[in-house]
């Protein structure tokens, strides 16, 4: 069996309500079945998602079901990467879906320009497909082909792996996999590592992906223990990116693009924000300090955050006692 041009990787956990739309949007792309494989990983679903995938696998030869006991999205993606055969890899979350016709445009571009990575835009939608609050609005020069480092020197590093079409050999040659210990922000360091190694990168201005704003997703789980785990995972993701920055700078002798550190700082910034609202400021500060990342720089335009508001919040964060005091006031008001 020959190498398909593209592998879609779709991790699935209890998304039966969204999964048919997701899979159908992939099937309906104008890409021949022989040029595409769709690896759908059932991560121990209990809601009928597996049966949906089995039906698609029966009806469409390019769809293949992989399964594992529940181990999280990173483990699911890694399992699919271990079995992927495509020249390029694209990631799709099972509650999201693809824009009609986008795949053909993106594939034509990566093949014609022999790219390692192609970055594209996305739009936010509500579960019913209506407007969900804007688009990525990245109006970059689409004619430019540069290195991953060059791209990151000029552009914000988007933290969503589904915004990237990646040459699979770039992933395999650099032995890249997702960190299975992370339950939040697991994309960031994986993206940083392949972008810092990529030789040919470009941007395509089309809206290739529909990100669904779900109020019932794992990100919105209000359970206190789950919230803490997500906060600590966000800190750990920042630590991983910091390690990648230091490794790149030591190996290359060059300064890493500021947008990579910008994403690290975003993760730290919002872990501190969530710590304030969740009442665990001391624990989060201890985790950040142990990593040697406190105090950390303010987020700014290198991470798509402009304005005085962020500077004021950052200044407050840099006074631990004050931040903890504000946390106490917030939680009293919320009661």
- Tell me the per-residue pLDDT of 120-149, one tens digit each, with 9 for 90 and over: 999 999 999 888 776 666 778 889 999 999
Average pLDDT of the segment spanning 147-174: 97
pLDDT, residue 214, reads: 79
- The answer on pLDDT for 249 being more than 70 is yes
pLDDT, residue 137, reads: 66
- Tell me the per-residue pLDDT of 262-285, one tens digit each, with 9 for 90 and over: 999 999 999 999 999 999 999 999
Specify whether the CB–CB gap between 95 and 103 falls below 8 A.
no
208 vs 104: CA distance, rounded Å: 10
State the fold for domain 6-218.
Spore Coat Polysaccharide Biosynthesis Protein SpsA; Chain A (3.90.550)
Point out which residues pair with 39 in neighbouring strands. Answer: 9, 64
Q: Where are the domains of the chain?
A: 6-218, 221-334
- The answer on pLDDT for 167 being more than 90 is yes
- The answer on pLDDT for 215 being more than 80 is no
Model pTM? 0.95
- At how many degrees (to 10) do helices 224-252 and 187-197 cross? 20
Q: Which residues contact 247 (CB under 8 A, 6 or more apart)?
A: none
Average pLDDT, the chain: 95
Separate counts of helices (H) and strands (E) for the chain: 12, 9
> Which residue carries 């790219």 as its tokens?
115
pLDDT, residue 235, reads: 98
> Which residue carries 């769809």 as its tokens?
63
pLDDT, residue 141, reads: 84
pLDDT, residue 139, reads: 72
- Tell me the per-residue pLDDT of 42-88, one tens digit each, with 9 for 90 and over: 999 999 999 999 999 999 999 999 999 999 999 999 999 999 999 99
Half-sphere exposure of 284 (CA within 13 A, CB side): 31
Task: Identify the DSSP state of 183.
Answer: S
């Amino acid at each position: 069996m020959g190498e398909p041009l593209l592998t879609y990787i779709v991790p699935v956990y209890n998304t039966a309500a969204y999964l048919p739309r997701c899979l159908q949007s992939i099937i309906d792309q104008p890409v021949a079945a022989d040029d595409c494989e769709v690896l759908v990983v059932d991560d121990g679903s209990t809601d009928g998602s597996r049966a949906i995938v089995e039906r698609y696998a029966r009806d469409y030869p390019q769809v293949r079901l992989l399964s594992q006991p529940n181990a999280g999205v990173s483990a699911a993606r890694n399992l699919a990467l271990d079995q992927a055969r495509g020249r390029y890899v694209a990631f799709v979350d099972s509650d999201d879906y693809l824009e009609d016709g986008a795949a053909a445009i993106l594939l034509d571009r990566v093949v014609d320009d022999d790219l390692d990575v192609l970055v594209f835009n996305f739009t936010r939608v509500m579960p019913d497909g209506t407007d969900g609050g804007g688009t990525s609005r990245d109006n970059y020069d689409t004619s430019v082909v540069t290195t991953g480092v060059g791209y990151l020197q000029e552009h914000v590093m988007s933290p969503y792996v589904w915004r990237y079409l990646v040459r699979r050999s770039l992933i395999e040659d650099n032995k890249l996999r997702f960190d299975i210990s992370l339950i939040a922000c697991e994309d960031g360091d994986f993206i940083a590592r392949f972008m810092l190694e990529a030789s040919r990168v470009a941007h395509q201005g089309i809206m290739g992906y529909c990100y669904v704003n779900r109020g019932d997703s794992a990100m919105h789980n209000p359970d206190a223990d789950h919230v803490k785990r997500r906060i600590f995972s966000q800190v750990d993701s920042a630590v991983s990116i910091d390690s990648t920055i230091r490794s790149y700078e030591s190996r290359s002798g060059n300064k890493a693009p500021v947008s990579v550190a910008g994403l690290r700082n975003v993760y730290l910034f919002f872990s501190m924000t969530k710590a304030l609202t969740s009442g665990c400021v001391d624990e989060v500060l201890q985790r950040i300090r142990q990593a040697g990342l406190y105090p950390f720089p303010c987020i700014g335009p290198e991470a798509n955050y402009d304005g005085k508001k962020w500077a004021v919040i950052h200044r407050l964060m840099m006074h631990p006692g004050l931040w903890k005091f504000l946390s106490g006031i917030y939680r009293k008001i919320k009661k």
